[in-house]
Amino acid sequence: MDHFAYRDGELYAEDVAVARIAAAVGTPFFCYSTATLRHHYKVFGDALAGLDATVCYAVKANANLAVIRTLAWLGAGADVVSGGELERALTAGVAPEGIVFSGVGKSRDELALALDAGIGQFNVESADELASLSGLAAARGVAARVAVRVNPDVDPRTHEKISTGRRRDKFGVPWPDARGVYARAAALPGIEIVGVAVHIGSQIVRLEPFRAAFERIVDIVGELRADGHDIRRLDLGGGLGVPYDGETPPSPAEYGEMVREVTSGIGCELVFEPGRVIVGNAGVLVSRVLYVKDSAGRAVTVLDAAMNDLLRPSLYDARHAIAPAREPAADAEHRPMDIVGPICESGDVFAQGRPMPPVAADDLLSIRTAGAYGAVMSSNYNSRPLAAEVLVDGDAFEIVRRRQTTAEMLALERMPSWLDGGRDRGAA
Ligand SMILES: *Cc1c(COP(=O)(O)O)cnc(C)c1O
């Protein structure tokens, strides 16, 4: 469910025509819908009604300050995976107590930043990290609230590159080692054990892997309590999938029901870290068609957006629905089309052989479900400036990240002394 739909033959984001935004900000740009963000946050929250639950939005899915603040004002905390994301969450107005710091490789500087900010929970992924955190916290005379991320060795049956809970993945502490790590944690100064964390992957479209992982974690909570640890928070991570193009992931309500069954009677505050399911289809990437050509019998449409703007198709073989901003006639003939970006890589392809209505140069296309892992993964490859981001709310729209300029792209670079100045220096 989203708020991008045709009205009188034109694609609207809520009450604003996408073509009007394109005329104002240029292309390509990401367009986010406030109503859709609110809707998904509410649906997720409703699914957890009656549970003692905290929702910490996974900032890495979409780190725009305006998106984080929209969710923070609805009551969300934040799950962050770097010092940069921590600063974003704080800047957007998330209360420090509502911030969870995840990630397999937090640097000492990042841990120190988080301790000084007084965040709510560190999800620690190794005994080494625990030792670092202990030293830093003890030196400050504070206690870090810690959950250990346990790797339950469950296959989430999603794309290889976003599977995180199998034994061979780099994440967490292998579940058979959990008791040992907790025993060490309990003996360290500056560490206050508060819970257990798990996160098995992203774009998960079945309940069974979640259930298997959560059952294992609930067993571990029992063992840890028997060992004398005060486990009062259970962080179940994120990962619930969204429909990109025909997938049928479980609904938040079905997910919530399963969580209720598996955790019933456990007496823990539950923490959730949803990212994609909140922001995924709250965004589209709007791009203008540069050229249409016929290549060895195939129709090839070249966009002004590329893999540097939206990496998911090249990185994850993701299939995003793509629709023209002008509604095609009901009887328009659909022909297979390759939809590609201008980057000098054969992998810069958004769709291959996709049945599409007729498309011509200067048409606008919207690449759907680009709100999660879109702008955040963009780069300057081919020295393309970062695209603009726009937030719509009802009939209002504003730029929430302006397009980068070429001058800004070059500003971090400098000539070394031996290349600075006249071109004949050193030539002899
Ligand atoms: C990426 C991530 C999330 C969010 O995953 P989604 O699939 O976007 O819901 C949550 N927790 C952790 C630890 C993550 O790394």
Q: Which of 408, 378, 289 is CA-nearest to residue 27? A: 289
Region 20-24 average pLDDT: 98
Burial class (CB in 10 A: 0-12, 13-18, 19+), 237: buried
pLDDT tens per residue, range 143-163:
999 999 999 999 998 899 888
The pLDDT confidence band at residue 426, using thresholds 50, 70 and 90, is: low
Nearest-atom index, ligand 1, CA of 204: 7
State residue 311's pLDDT score.
Answer: 98
Q: Is residue 252 reached through a cis peptide bond, with omega within 30 degrees of 0 on the bond before it?
A: no
Do the Cβ atoms of 31 and 399 come closer than 8 Å?
Answer: no
pTM of the model: 0.97
The pLDDT confidence band at residue 225, using thresholds 50, 70 and 90, is: very high
Task: Average the pLDDT over each of 175-179, 373-377, 420-424 and give the range with the smallest value.
Answer: 420-424
Average pLDDT taken over every residue of the chain: 96
Region 12-31 average pLDDT: 98
Nearest-5° Cα angle at 88, 85 to 92? 145
Do the Cβ atoms of 4 and 348 come closer than 8 Å?
Answer: no
Secondary structure of residue 342 in the 3-state scheme: coil
Region 15-26 average pLDDT: 98
Region 278-287 average pLDDT: 98
| CATH 2.40.37.10 residue spans of the chain | 4-31+280-411
Q: Determine the Cα–Cα distance for residues 157 and 359; give it in Å rounded to an integer.
A: 36
What spacing in Å lies between the alpha carbon of 313 and ligand 1's midpoint?
Answer: 19
pLDDT at 428 > cutoff 60 = no
CATH class entry, domain 103-272: alpha beta
Q: Is 344 a catalytic residue?
A: yes
pLDDT at 189 > cutoff 80 = yes
**DSSP of 58-104:** EGGG---HHHHHHHHTTT-EEEESSHHHHHHHHHHT--GGGEEE--S
| CATH 3.20.20.10 residue spans of the chain | 103-272
Residue with tokens 């957890």: 48
The pLDDT confidence band at residue 427, using thresholds 50, 70 and 90, is: low
pLDDT at 425 > cutoff 70 = no
Do the Cβ atoms of 242 and 277 come closer than 8 Å?
Answer: yes
Secondary structure of residue 17 in the 3-state scheme: strand
Nearest-atom index, ligand 1, CA of 273: 10
Write the single-letter amino acid at 290: L
Higher pLDDT: 425 or 307? It is 307
322 - beta bridge partners? 367
Do the Cβ atoms of 292 and 360 come closer than 8 Å?
Answer: yes
pLDDT at 403 > cutoff 90 = yes
State residue 216's pLDDT score.
Answer: 97
Secondary structure of residue 146 in the 3-state scheme: strand
CATH superfamily of the domain spanning 4-31+280-411: Lyase, Ornithine Decarboxylase; Chain A, domain 1 (2.40.37.10)
Residues with CB under 6 A from ligand 1: 58, 60-61, 79, 81, 102, 199, 202, 237-240, 273-277, 372
State residue 221's pLDDT score.
Answer: 98
pLDDT tens per residue, range 113-124:
999 999 999 999
What spacing in Å lies between the alpha carbon of 104 and ligand 1's midpoint?
Answer: 13
Region 269-296 average pLDDT: 97
What spacing in Å lies between the alpha carbon of 198 and ligand 1's midpoint?
Answer: 10
Give whole-number Cα distances, 24 to 16, 28, 30, 404, in Å: 12, 12, 13, 16
Region 323-342 average pLDDT: 97
pLDDT tens per residue, range 73-87:
999 999 999 999 999
6-15 contacts, C-beta under 8 A, 24 or more apart: 6/327, 9/326, 9/327, 10/325, 10/326, 10/327, 11/323, 11/324, 11/325, 11/326, 11/327, 11/364, 11/366, 13/284, 13/392, 13/397, 14/392, 14/393, 14/394, 14/395, 15/392, 15/394, 15/395
Q: Which of 75, 88, 95 is CA-nearest to residue 401? A: 88
State residue 10's pLDDT score.
Answer: 98
Q: Which of 156, 162, 372 is CA-nearest to residue 276? A: 372
H or E stretch at 392 = strand 388-393
What spacing in Å lies between the alpha carbon of 81 and ligand 1's midpoint?
Answer: 9
Query: In terms of DSSP H, where are the helices of 165-245?
Result: 178-186, 207-226
Pairing, β 4-7 against β 10-13: antiparallel
Region 303-319 average pLDDT: 97
State residue 197's pLDDT score.
Answer: 98
Give whole-number Cα distances, 218 to 93, 195, 425, in Å: 33, 11, 69
Pairing, β 283-295 against β 298-303: antiparallel
Please choose from 54, 59, 67, 79 the residue to mutate so as to test ligand 1's pocket, defined by most ligand atoms within 8 A of CB.
79
